Chains A and B, each alone.
Chain A
Amino acid sequence: MSGAGHTPHPHGAHDHAGDHAAVEDVARPGYYEIMEIAVRELLVERGHIQGAEIHRQIDLLDSRTPALGAAIVARAWMDPAFKARLLADGRGVAEELGVSFYDDTGLIVLENTAEVHNLVVCTLCSCYPRPVLGLPPEWYKLKPYRARAVSEPRALLAEFGTVLPDDVEIRVSDSTSMARYLVLPRRPEGTEDFTETQLAALVTRDAMIGVVPVELPEGRPA
C-alpha cells in the first residue's frame, strides 16, 4: 500500500506519471520555461557552460534514485555497527558507499523507533536528500504538504494511511538550510530471514520521507 502510485495524497497534490495525459508538445511554454531556455542558450552561446556539462548534470541527477537510500536502510537493518555510524555521520557513511554530495548539503539520518516517528518536509521550498533519493515527488513540493506537515502532521499522515498512537512522538524535521534528512524506517516484523537485497526491495521512497511505514507485500503493518 506504500507504492508510489497508490498512496493517498494531500488534496491539491498531483499524482504520478501513470495518471498523466500523454505528453504532447502543443502547450505554449510557460514564463519560467522560456526564461530557463533563454538563460541556458545565452550561457552556452557565450561559452560559460557547454551542452555536455548540462547533460552531465542531468545524468548525475538521473543516477540518484530511492534505490540508493533503500540500500543504505537495508544495510543499517542488517548491521548494527553500520547503523550506529550512519546515525552519527549520515553524509560520511553515504560517501564511503560512493554517494557524492554534489550540492554541498549535509545528511542526517533520523531513526524511527517505537517511541518516535520522523517526518521530513521543507516549508520554504523543496529541500530534499537528493544525493540519496533523487528528485522529490511532486506532492512534496506543493504547499498543502508543506503547510500541513508542520501544522497537522497526524491528519496528513492519516491521509497516507499512517495512523500512529498518541504515545508515539511525531517529530517533524523542517529542512530549510544546510542539512537534509533521510528517515530510517522501522524494520518490519517477519523479515528476520530476509537478505539485504530482499530488505532493500521493501523500502520505498515514501517510507524514507516518513509518510508511510515499510510493509511486507502482503500489507501487514510494520
Chain B
Amino acid sequence: MTVGTPTVFPFTSVVLATGEPVRFAPGDRVRVSDRRPVGHYRVPLYLRGKAGVVECVYEPAQLNNEEEGYGRNAGGKRHYYRIGVPMADIWPGYAGAPRDTLRIEVFESWLERIDG
C-alpha cells in the first residue's frame, strides 16, 4: 500500500471463524426449533416451535452450552439473541393482555429464520 492511500474500513479480506458473524439482526422473525433431543439444553420446552422477533444480539459470542455441559468444546462459539414472543402465541387461552410478551435469550443453533 502506498503511503498516503486512505485505508478502507472495515477490511473486506478478513475471513471470520464459523459462528463468529452475527446471523440474525434486531427485527428478524425467527422460530425456536422444535427439537426434543436428550441432554443439556437451555431452551425451555414451552418455547419450542414458537415464533418470535429478535430484540437484540448479546455480544460477545459464547461457548455452545450444549457441548460445554458435557465438557467438550472445540472453540464452538455462537451468539445468543434476545427474542420476544407474544404470550398469547405461547399459551392457548392466555388470560393476560394481548400486548404481554415473553423475552428470552436463545442460542443461535436453536433459531430458524422465518422468511418474509
Contact = CB atoms under 8 A, between A and B. Distances in A.
B62 A172 contact: no
B72 interface: no
A153 B88 CA distance: 12
Interface string A186-221: 000000000000000000000000000000000000
A152 interface: yes
B100 interface: yes
B82 interface: yes
Nearest to B62: A178
Interface in B32-48: 42-44, 46
Contacts of B42: 124, 176-177
B23 interface: no
Interface stretch (A15-23, A26-34, A162-170): A162-170
B96 A154 contact: yes
A13 B95 CA distance: 23
B105 A172 contact: no
Contacts of B104: 173-174, 176
A56 to B, nearest CB: 26
Contact of B97 (A123, A166, A179): A166
Interface in A120-174: 123-124, 150-155, 166-174
Contacts of B102: 150, 171-174
Contact of A124 (B44, B80, B94, B107): B44
Nearest to A110: B103
A204 B89 CA distance: 32
A123 B41 CA distance: 12
A186 to B, nearest CB: 18
A106 interface: yes
B103 A150 contact: no
A176 B105 contact: yes
Given A106-B58, A178-B105, A179-B58, A167 B97 contact: yes
Interface of A: 106, 123-124, 150-155, 166-179
Interface of B: 42-44, 46, 58, 62, 65, 80, 82, 84, 87, 90-91, 94-97, 99-105, 107
